[in-house]
Structure 1
Amino acid sequence: MAGDLDTVRALAREWKNYSLLPIERKEAIMKLEQALEVDPKRHATVFILGNAHSQQGFFNPNEQVALGCLDKATQCFEHAMKLVTLFLKRDPANFFLLKMVIIFCSLTSLIRYIPDVTRSNNQGKL
């Protein structure tokens, strides 16, 4: 289990290199949600929204808020995967879309795994 926690910490540190400031994340989330009101079937927008929520969760010091953000991220990734699956039915040989499904599955698995890792860690922090 210690190795798993180290892996999650390493991923969080790596992700931090690509993260936005908290205020930028909130603004990005708001703009992405507005974009989805215009075109709710854009899987790429839903995927990016999931990334923004997951960043917000990874870098929030409040565990309950962080887990709520990660839940939203999971919902976005699952919704994006459903949208991609619809596109794949029309174009089953599209390698890019197949790759996205693999990424969605990996991300949702990782995000679902994080609460278990944090609970097993006495400090409750990544």
Structure 2
Amino acid sequence: MTRERFGSGGPFEEMYGYSRAVRIGPHVWVAGSCARDEAIEGDAYAQAADALGVIERSLAQAGAALSDVVRTVTYVTDIRDTEKVAAAHRAAFGDVLPAATLVEVSALADPRYLVEIQVDAYVEA
């Protein structure tokens, strides 16, 4: 099977040497994604919603959609932001209800980041 790689122009992709998304057959993996631009200055809800927008665009590049997501992993720097992040997650996924994990971490790549989200998707043939 062919490995397809997709970038999003994120600030760490070139420096770190990774793809925003990789597709092999019906499987799509989207790397941990954070808020961009002015959304970085927002609260955890705004950051999560913007990160999910980055993910949605990356999935589209790979021929997938949020409705194809089967698993999410969310990292927060403050577990007290769970409700805000959960609200953005619910708004993005609705009835898709992917398997989901949320964990608190001590820091993310940029000290302004409050949330990072990664997803795995399966595209039905």
| TM-score, length basis structure 1 | 0.31
Select the structure that is richer in helix: 1
| TM-score, length basis structure 2 | 0.32
* Greater radius of gyration (CA): 1
